[in-house]
Amino acid sequence: MPIINRISEFHEKMIEWRQDIHSHPELAYQEKRTANKVAELLREFGVDEIHEGIGGTGVVGVIKNGDGPKIGLRADMDALPITEANQCNHVSTNKGVMHACGHDGHTTMLLGAARYLSETRNFKGEVILIFQPAEEGFAGAKAMIDDGLFEKFPVDSIYGMHNMPGLETGHIAVGPGPRMAAADNFEIKINGKGSHAAMPYQSIDPIVCGSAVVQAIQSLVSRNADPRKTLVVSVTQFNSGHANNVIPDFANLAGTIRYFDKDTSEFIRKKFPKIVKDVCESFGAIAEIDYKEGYPPTINDNDAAIFALDIAKDIAGEKATDKQPPSMGSEDFSYFLQKKPGAYAYIGNGNSASLHNPSYDFNDENLSIGASFLSKIAEKALSKN
């Protein structure tokens, strides 16, 4: 079965919704206009229940049709602190903020599914529509869970999707197992001893020490971690000093660590601080380490991924695939998958600018495809037969 005919009939309306949301982007936990628009449209569609303010600015809609299982469908709503470079008619009107990751499209695809499912009710049970705030680094999924999402709306399974530049438009990819990585972050302050640059023997140079730390922690990947498991360690900031003839007192380093499994998580959290402290001690410096646990890995349930792939084949035909390359990027849908079985799919955005790029824009051709995919997941999961 290709795109659902009824959804294709209001495709132009979905483009209007998407481009309006794109024009009015809002940062994490500030998505008040977006949340209001979502709630207003859900009311217009005849959604049975609409709950606002879940996890801050999250919105949950409930579509009911008798007793039966409950399925969750999720979209994220927040934008990024990026100045948009596009010159389109729907360019951001909020300076310094833009939908550079396609959450405007994700929200719209779920709105399209909400309209169709509310009209047709071709299922038995409940569809829980989850419009989530603050995916971009602020754990809106966890905030909704902590606010009682699954106690108030105890779904049996949950599904979501993300657009993917570089994947051909309309292609849907979903496979089992780890799809996106955990993302931990670290900050290191190396306390040394300053001196005049002409007399380095009087110093404990935090820059030289920091350089050794950067080199040493790469051995976590090359010489400490199991080579059969994926691990990325990246130092992304190194700040120190203020003059060209002064060795400073301290240096600040920061970065990120990415992986897929629990064993690697436990290993890195023990080994990382030891290497940093041992290197600093060898220079006579002292390290202050702030290790921050980030999003967990996004791991698709095997059965849910197979089910979603079957639906994708119904909608996209030969454009559906289980070849969903694991990404070292992270996604807070992972928190939902820690609580409930489900799957996270990719939908191709075509030859567009990359995610988080000021020239990125969501491909509106995907709106009916994505809305049909989400709708059919709900109908098949809550089949009347």
Which spans in the chain are helix H?
Answer: 5-9, 11-23, 32-45, 103-120, 140-146, 149-152, 206-217, 219, 262-283, 302-316, 333-339, 366-381
Backbone angles phi, psi at 372, to 5 degrees: -65, -40
- Rg (the chain; Cα; Å): 24
pLDDT at 384 over 90: no
Q: Which tens digit of pLDDT belongs to each residue from 17-45?
A: 999 999 999 999 999 999 999 999 999 99
Q: With 0-12 CB in 10 A as exposed, 13-18 as middle and 19+ as buried, what is 211?
A: middle
Instruction: Please indicate whether the domains covering 5-179+297-381 and 182-295 agree at the CATH topology level.
Output: no
Strand-pair category, 172-173 with 342-348: antiparallel
Averaged pLDDT for residues 267-295? 97
5-179+297-381: CATH class? alpha beta
Domain boundaries, the chain: 5-179+297-381, 182-295
SS3 state at 232: strand
**The pTM is what?**
0.94
The pLDDT value recorded for residue 385 is 61
Taking the CB of residue 16, how many other CB atoms lie within 10 A of it? 12
pLDDT at 297 over 70: yes
Averaged pLDDT for residues 203-216? 98
Averaged pLDDT for residues 269-298? 97
Q: Which tens digit of pLDDT belongs to each residue from 153-191?
A: 999 999 999 999 999 999 999 999 999 999 999 999 999
- Picking from 378, 365, 379, the residue whose alpha carbon sits closest to that of residue 163 is 365
Going 213 to 216 to 220 to 224, the CA torsion angle's sign is negative
Q: 182-295, what's its fold?
A: Alpha-Beta Plaits (3.30.70)
